[in-house]
Every structure is written in structure tokens, then in C-alpha cells.
Copies of this chain bind each other. A is one copy, B any other.
Amino acid sequence: MFPTVIKLLPFIEAIGIIAFCVSGFISAQQRKFDAIGVFIIGFVTAFGGGTLRDILLDRRPFYWVQHQNYVIAIFVCSLIAGTIMDFMHRVLPRRAMLIADAMGLGLFTITSTALALDAGMPVFVASMLGVIGAAFGGVIRDILCGDTPLLLTDSRPYASCAFAGAWVYIILQKIEMNDIFSLIISSGLIVVLRLASIRFKWKVPASF
């Protein structure tokens, strides 16, 4: 089973990057940015969180430096983002985008948490860096677009799902469960939590 999952990882990764990038494209197009603006917002939404995580961890090279082809693909797509959005709007149900985004959230939270643990971060800090790596691309997107970050204003759980999954991963690692198995369980949990929270309209409570 494991080798199959490992082969699947790049696909899930691609799905996550596409989902994040598309959410950037949508924000940029709603504000009538030109093609360059669409590229910038798509790019920071896809890679901004991981880049911030790597700056905090003092880690180089960045993912997008090692995978330049993703950046070029986003650039080309940003030139025809209008057509792509129209096409996706017709072909994909809205639910597909939510699932793709949840998969990105799940995978990137756990890979970020794992990178932080590898870098010797204490566990609570590692769980925070997990959330930052997965969810802060959207924060940078919103700041660049002139909005208060959705992560802060929207009380539907997003960072909370990532945080919960990061802790499950940390605990599974502490009890020395196999890496791939830990990854699947904890990122799968994030996807389930996120989709359940949308389905059942859960809300993060305000502070007591």
C-alpha cells in the first residue's frame, strides 16, 4: 500500500497547489487586476505560506525555486485565467474546488509540520508552522488584495482543522508510527474535519 501512496503524493500536491492558485485567481479577477496582478496573487496564494514557513525556519531553496515549472505554469495560466475560470465554473461543481482546497490544506499542513519537526522545532511551534505553511498563503493574498484576511474574519474552521491535524501527526510521530501512515491519517483527518465543518456549518467560537 505504501509505495502506491508515495506515488500519489505528487498528484495530491499538484491538486493542492492548483486549488490554492485558483482561489488567488478568483480574488484577483474579482478586483479586476490585470494579467500581471492575477499572476502575483495566484503565485502568493499557492506558495506564500510555504515561503513564509521556510523564511521562519531559515530553509532554502524554496519549493518554487526547485520546481520552477510550477511557476511558469501559473504564469501561463494567469494570462488565460478568465477562460480557465469560465471552464472550471462550467465543468467542476463548486464542491470539487472545496475538496481540492481541503486536500491542499491537509497535505501542506502535515508536510510543513514534518519539516518544522525535522528542523528541531519544539512541538507547539511545529504545529504553528504547520498551519502557517498551509494557511498563510491565503492571508498574504488577502492583505495584497486590500482585505482583512478571511482566516481571521471567517469563523468557519480552517486554521483550526489544520491545527488539530498537526497535533495528531505530532502524537503519531511521538508513538513512532510509520511516517507515511502518520501523514495519511493526520492529513486525511484535516480533509474530513474541513469538509464536515462546511457541511455541518461548524463555527470556531469566540474567546470566552
**Assembled-state Cα–Cα distance A82/B145 (Å):** 30
Closest to A158 in B: B36
Q: How far is the CB of A48 from chain B (nearest CB, A)?
A: 12
**Contact partner, A145, options B28, B41, B148, Cβ 8 Å:** B148
A143-161 interface (Cβ within 8 A of B): 143-149, 151-153, 155, 159-160
**Assembled-state Cα–Cα distance A139/B71 (Å):** 20
Complex interface: chain B residues within 8 A of A151 (CB): 36-37, 40
Smallest CB-CB A-B distances: 6 pairs:
A146-B148, A81-B207, A34-B204, A37-B152, A34-B155, A68-B122
Q: Can you name 7 A-B pairs with beta carbons within 8 Å?
A: A29-B206, A31-B152, A34-B204, A36-B159, A58-B58, A80-B208, A146-B149
* A→B interface (CB under 8 Å): 25, 28-29, 31-38, 40-41, 51, 55-56, 58, 60, 62, 64-65, 68, 71-72, 75, 78-83, 121-122, 124-125, 128, 139, 143-149, 151-153, 155, 159-160, 163, 203-208
Supplied contacts A31-B148, A38-B206, A51-B56, 9 more A-B pairs, CB within 8 Å: A29-B207, A33-B206, A34-B204, A34-B206, A40-B151, A71-B125, A71-B128, A78-B207, A79-B207
